[in-house]
Structure 1
Amino acid sequence: MDILIANKIPAKVFGLLCQTEDFIALMKKFSAHGYFSQIQDINNFQQAFTGIDAEYVVYLLDLNCAEAQRVLIEADNEKLFSSPHRWIITNPKDTTYYENLSIFPDSDMTLVTFQSTSNDAFVQKVYRPSLAHDVIYESYGFWNVNYGLNVTIKDVFSANRRKNLFGTVLKSCLVITHNNSMNHLLDKRDRHIDTIAKVNYVFILHIRDLLNVKMLFSIQATWGYKNNKSEWSGMIGELTRKEADIGGTPLFLTIDRVSLIDYIAMTTSTKSKFVFRQPKLSYITNVFTLPFKTEVWISSVTLVIIISIGLYLVAKWESQKYKKLEIEHEEFIEPKFISAFFMAFGAACQQGTNTMPHTISGRIITIILFTSLMFLYASYSANITTSWCRRSSSTSIQTLSDLLHSRLQVGVDDTVFNRFYFPNATEPIRRAIYLQKVIPSGQAPRYFQIEEGVKMMRQGLFAFHMETGAGYKLVGETFLENEKCDLQEIQFLEVPDPWLAIQKNSSYKEMLKIGLRKIHESGIQSREVALLYTKRPTCDSRSSAFIGVSIVDCYPAAKILLVGYLTAICIFVGEILYYRYRVKMQSQKLLT
């Protein structure tokens, strides 16, 4: 009872006892302290091992019982010595009772040895680093009938006490996608190739030193995926078959993997995203319509129409006035609405006119026309210049839907996980991107090596899906400073950062987690990540970049000019045909 209280264990106690008089005494003692107790006849001990919430159970075993050794063997077969099961064993015998048991570092087995001359007892913890090692006894404390339990152990958390595994052999599986990476795991060369494997290889070496283990490495080309026979390949296959203890390369946390392996730490915050240079504003939209909002455009057109009507009325009044005076002048505005409209439209385009009103009212209207449209023209042209020279990149592509419906081509880094996740995408937008842009009908699949993909991305109008830490290294080496300012990212894979994994229910889980936490807290993790992963380049020279005007920028204006030419030619041809038709008709009348 003192051991349970000292460890603050909310327990259900199962007493595997052989003395009938012990049953009632123990039940009274435990009930008095608020513990649930169930005394199980040692001859029917299998019933105590089934249907129990192991986290709250403590097994109490008396080794003086004849069936005690068989209980230990059966419990070992049921893997009841691993965490979170707890055992308290009284009257321990010699070490032959434990030499073949799987009491690994995560076990919680307490031995209580009573002295023959008194009711005092020594309390010990027992474990072994592996089956190849002898049993290790830890002094836990001393119990006295008058003073209770005196705990002498310094750290009650076993994972901290047992961090020395005395050369235990652990196996780690690395995922290497390029064979040459085996020659550069530590020298920081080719940082953009197998980056995640190289970073975590260093962490595994630190774990080896922290736990004093011997690490054996195996190599796989994939992280592991389920085949048609529901068997797992790659690193996950080794972990599930217990051929490896630790996954040396992090992998994504997915639902179908949770029941197979345990995730212990997120060591590298790496992302795979679509990265592209934002296309020019004129490539996405018509820059000649951007300077004004719709309300301003409507107001400007309304102003031109109103002034055109005013000029028409003035011109008509002047025509009638001077006609009575029999005065004719070629600079008078022709009393037609179309003439007044073209005069107002020419003013909007900052063009002069060869006709002017001669009355004061007409000249006031003209002054208002040119003054108001001068300010509009100045604002319009300044905004277009700004769009070309300062905000030449569009920010309209922000989501996967925008990318799908854009004119950008798409490419994917040719890696194992990209070739797995892209074809298996089920979300409609992601599925459409894969079918329409990654494997377009009638074309070769658009998987590229990372060097080629970054090169195409620099040329523009190309989105490349890559691991950002590795890809930005090439971006920093090949892009000009102003080109780095246009970079945009869009997340495609719906997975969190990759985590290191180990065997399911591994006996070394807590020690490995503590070791990786120490690597993180000491700064080793951030240092190694910074040495191999490149952050997104910063934009330092956007304002100094000179961007020339291309045909794409002038396309709307050229289109209007072309339409104007074609319309003028058609009207010209129509006039010629109409003129010839009238001449022909007049000739026929003269003949008749």
Structure 2
Amino acid sequence: MVEHKSKFNELNAMPISDLFIAQRYHNNDTIQWKLFDAYKLNYGYDIEITENGVIEAITNMNGLIVSAANFSYTRRQNLKGINITCGLVMEYPERLTSFDNPSDTHVDVFTKGSINLGRNLRENMNFSCLMHLAKMGWSENDTFDGITSLFQKNQIQMTMHGVIMRSEQLLYAEFAGDIFTPRTPLIFRQPSLSTVANIFVLPLGIDIWICIFILMLVVFVIMMLQLMHHPILKKMSITAFDIATFILGAVCQQGTHLHIPTTSGRFVVLTTFSATLALFTSYSASIVALLQSPSDFISSLDDLIASPLKVGMYEADYARYMVHAKYTGVMDVYDKKVLPQGEKGWIDDPFVGIERVRTELFAFQVDSPSAYRAISETFAESEKCGIKEIQMIVLPTTTILVERNSGYNELIRQRIKWQKEIGLMKRDELRWIPTKPDCKGGLSGFVTVGLNEIKPAVILMLFGYGLSLLVLGVEILFRNMRCKNQKKPNTPFSY
């Protein structure tokens, strides 16, 4: 068979092929075929020919017997230290110190999370990698950059770690098994109720507010009837505006400047203050509770767009591609929340983005491993409980890419499945891809009250001051006109 070896060198029979060579010869009364297993370790290598077994045809038994079988599937998994060109995706190569450095787990975390899978493949299948560094890369006008362009130019045969699956990659590469699905959520803290609603109208239902206004109207009517018909009150200089001020002071438990000498009038004052006392106590307690309560205002991307939160996106190739490709859900948020900020809407350090989530009304789109590590290191326990997520960018599963019609596809797929079954992949996933931080302390904690919480009251106060100044101006103008008409500028103005 050695003399025929040069003839078979022209065949590109890679390890996953089923090429067998049979050589016939006679042995006494039997006809035998020697079977040879033939394959190449890689392109350009000489063909490997190994005896695989013997088939005997016994004439008096009309049958075939296979003997000395030497199964080839275990032998073909040993690539005997050959060199294979491999691709390595790095978004931030200038920041990487080591693939095993636990201090920078947020740098190229998806590469680190599956690089051990490639190392295990290399040792298990006994080959060496000639590395080519590239970014993830995307397609534009049928032109590729990044890792796919290396497959397009036939510069690499496989990747050494998991790469995001995309349909356009199938033009030049194939998928050899699935690894894990990366998550890139929008992370934010639910805004307080005072941010998204006027907490001064929330403690009481609409029916209670209606009852309050009816009560104020009834008290006003009763007091006016007494002013018009009681002989003592008729002599006092009490106006309708004084009655309205009295009612407002009773509702707010601020007292009144009026002196009511009649017994019937005092009964009205007593019952009014007693009724409003319980109302005021319940209202104040509800305000305190609402100040410490988180809202559930944001539960979808539409809610996020309508909220006062700003949005930032992590500077990554996949995020830029989603924006460039104008994905519907992504563009709605990008156009209204990120684009107005310009380049400030893109953040290249996950710790910076997560810190803004902690201290501002801010939502940050970032990969979950980087976000969870930053949260674990910078958030207090009570702050962790308020973290919410919305999925805006949904990435497909990662896979090992191999060149089209690769001779190693099935071998790699089998070894990846084996690593998944025995838990090697799960170990690396737990090491590099942490879970969401647990909420242990609850939402309890000291809550400060800022201008945002009292903004409706400040607006009402400023409105009152402005209205007062406007009325003052009208009064002065009216008085001057009246005095001018009467030719008596020193006559005092009376209401």
TM-score over 0.5 (shorter chain):
yes
Whole-angstrom CA distance in 2 between matches of 1:543 and 1:108: 64
- Contact 1:167–1:212 (CA<8 Å) still a contact in 2? yes
Q: 1:486 aligns with which of 383, 386, 394?
A: 386
Tell me how far 1:496 sits from its aligned partner.
Answer: 1.7
Partner SS, residue 177 of structure 1: coil
Whole-angstrom CA distance in 2 between matches of 1:160 and 1:374: 87
Question: Which residue of 2 is the match for residue 31 of structure 1?
Answer: none
Partner SS, residue 274 of structure 1: strand
Question: 2:23 aligned with 1:132, yes or no?
Answer: no
Whole-angstrom CA distance in 2 between matches of 1:370 and 1:144: 117
Tell me how far 1:231 sits from its aligned partner.
Answer: 3.4
- Structure 1 residues 57-107: Cα deviation after superposition (integer angstroms, max 9, x where no partner): xxxxxxxxxxxxxxxxxxxxxxxxxxxxxxxxxxxx955553432222222
Partner SS, residue 552 of structure 1: coil
Tell me how far 1:190 sits from its aligned partner.
Answer: 1.8
Question: Which residue of 2 is the match for residue 310 of structure 1?
Answer: 218
Partner SS, residue 164 of structure 1: coil
- Structure 1 residues 362-381: Cα deviation after superposition (integer angstroms, max 9, x where no partner): 948963x5555444433332
Partner SS, residue 352 of structure 2: helix
Question: 2:281 aligned with 1:378, yes or no?
Answer: yes
- Structure 1 residues 411-463: Cα deviation after superposition (integer angstroms, max 9, x where no partner): 32223333333232242x5324334443438x545323214333433331232
Structure 2 counterpart of 1:418, one-letter code: A
Alignment coverage as a number of residue pairs = 484
Whole-angstrom CA distance in 1 between matches of 2:164 and 2:193: 37
Alignment of 1:245-264 (within 5 A): 245-264=157-176
Q: 1:566 aligns with which of 455, 466, 469?
A: 466
Whole-angstrom CA distance in 2 between matches of 1:589 and 1:195: 84
Question: Which residue of 2 is the match for residue 289 of structure 1?
Answer: 201
Question: 2:137 aligned with 1:224, yes or no?
Answer: yes
Question: 2:146 aligned with 1:234, yes or no?
Answer: yes
The structure with higher relative contact order (CA 8 Å, sep 6+) is 2
Q: Gaps (5+ residues) in structure 2?
A: none
Tell me how far 1:340 sits from its aligned partner.
Answer: 5.5
| Percent identity for Structure 1 against Structure 2 | 22
Question: Which residue of 1 is the match for residue 322 of structure 2?
Answer: 421
- Using structure 1 for the length normalisation, give the TM-score: 0.71
Q: 2:15 aligns with which of 83, 96, 105?
A: 105
Question: Which residue of 2 is the match for residue 505 of structure 1?
Answer: 405
Question: 2:348 aligned with 1:449, yes or no?
Answer: yes
- Contact 1:272–1:466 (CA<8 Å) still a contact in 2? yes
Tell me how far 1:512 sits from its aligned partner.
Answer: 0.7
Query: Alpha carbons of 1:189 and 1:139: their partners in 2 closer, same or farther (altered >3 Å)?
Result: farther
Question: Which residue of 2 is the match for residue 12 of structure 1?
Answer: none
Question: Which residue of 1 is the match for residue 253 of structure 2?
Answer: 350
Query: Alpha carbons of 1:272 and 1:155: their partners in 2 closer, same or farther (altered >3 Å)?
Result: farther
Whole-angstrom CA distance in 1 between matches of 2:89 and 2:378: 28
Tell me how far 1:134 sits from its aligned partner.
Answer: 1.5
- Contact 2:189–2:361 (CA<8 Å) still a contact in 1? yes
Partner SS, residue 163 of structure 2: coil
Alignment of 1:147-546 (within 5 A): 148=63, 162-180=76-94, 183-220=97-134, 222-226=135-139, 230-292=142-204, 296-297=205-206, 299-315=207-223, 318-319=226-227, 322-323=230-231, 327-328=232-233, 342-353=245-256, 354=258, 363=267, 367=271, 369-370=272-273, 372-389=275-292, 391=293, 393-427=294-328, 429-440=329-340, 443-444=342-343, 446-450=345-349, 451-546=351-446
Partner SS, residue 502 of structure 1: strand
Structure 2 counterpart of 1:398, one-letter code: S
Larger Rg: 1
Tell me how far 1:265 sits from its aligned partner.
Answer: 2.9
Whole-angstrom CA distance in 2 between matches of 1:413 and 1:235: 21
Provide the alpha-carbon RMSD of the alignment. Answer: 3.8
Tell me how far 1:188 sits from its aligned partner.
Answer: 3.4
Whole-angstrom CA distance in 2 between matches of 1:242 and 1:590: 102
Alignment of 1:542-561 (within 5 A): 542-561=442-461
- Contact 2:226–2:265 (CA<8 Å) still a contact in 1? no
- Using structure 2 for the length normalisation, give the TM-score: 0.83
Question: Which residue of 2 is the match for residue 82 of structure 1?
Answer: none
Whole-angstrom CA distance in 2 between matches of 1:167 and 1:140: 29
- Structure 1 residues 320-354: Cα deviation after superposition (integer angstroms, max 9, x where no partner): 6643xxx448899x695x66655444333234344
Whole-angstrom CA distance in 1 between matches of 2:375 and 2:152: 39
User: Which deviates the most, 552-561 or 197-206?
Assistant: 197-206
Q: Gaps (5+ residues) in structure 1?
A: 1-92
Structure 2 counterpart of 1:303, one-letter code: C
- Contact 1:240–1:504 (CA<8 Å) still a contact in 2? no
Structure 1 counterpart of 2:104, one-letter code: D
Partner SS, residue 541 of structure 1: coil
Structure 2 counterpart of 1:410, one-letter code: V
Query: Alpha carbons of 1:154 and 1:550: their partners in 2 closer, same or farther (altered >3 Å)?
Result: farther
Structure 2 counterpart of 1:226, one-letter code: S
Question: 2:487 aligned with 1:587, yes or no?
Answer: yes
Partner SS, residue 551 of structure 1: coil
Whole-angstrom CA distance in 1 between matches of 2:417 and 2:324: 36
Tell me how far 1:317 sits from its aligned partner.
Answer: 5.2
Tell me how far 1:207 sits from its aligned partner.
Answer: 0.5
Whole-angstrom CA distance in 2 between matches of 1:320 and 1:550: 47
Whole-angstrom CA distance in 2 between matches of 1:153 and 1:511: 25
Question: Which residue of 2 is the match for residue 51 of structure 1?
Answer: none
Structure 2 counterpart of 1:565, one-letter code: Y
Query: Alpha carbons of 1:547 and 1:316: their partners in 2 closer, same or farther (altered >3 Å)?
Result: closer
Structure 1 counterpart of 2:122, one-letter code: R
- Contact 1:111–1:124 (CA<8 Å) still a contact in 2? yes
Tell me how far 1:519 sits from its aligned partner.
Answer: 1.7
- Structure 1 residues 11-52: Cα deviation after superposition (integer angstroms, max 9, x where no partner): xxxxxxxxxxxxxxxxxxxxxxxxxxxxxxxxxxxxxxxxxx
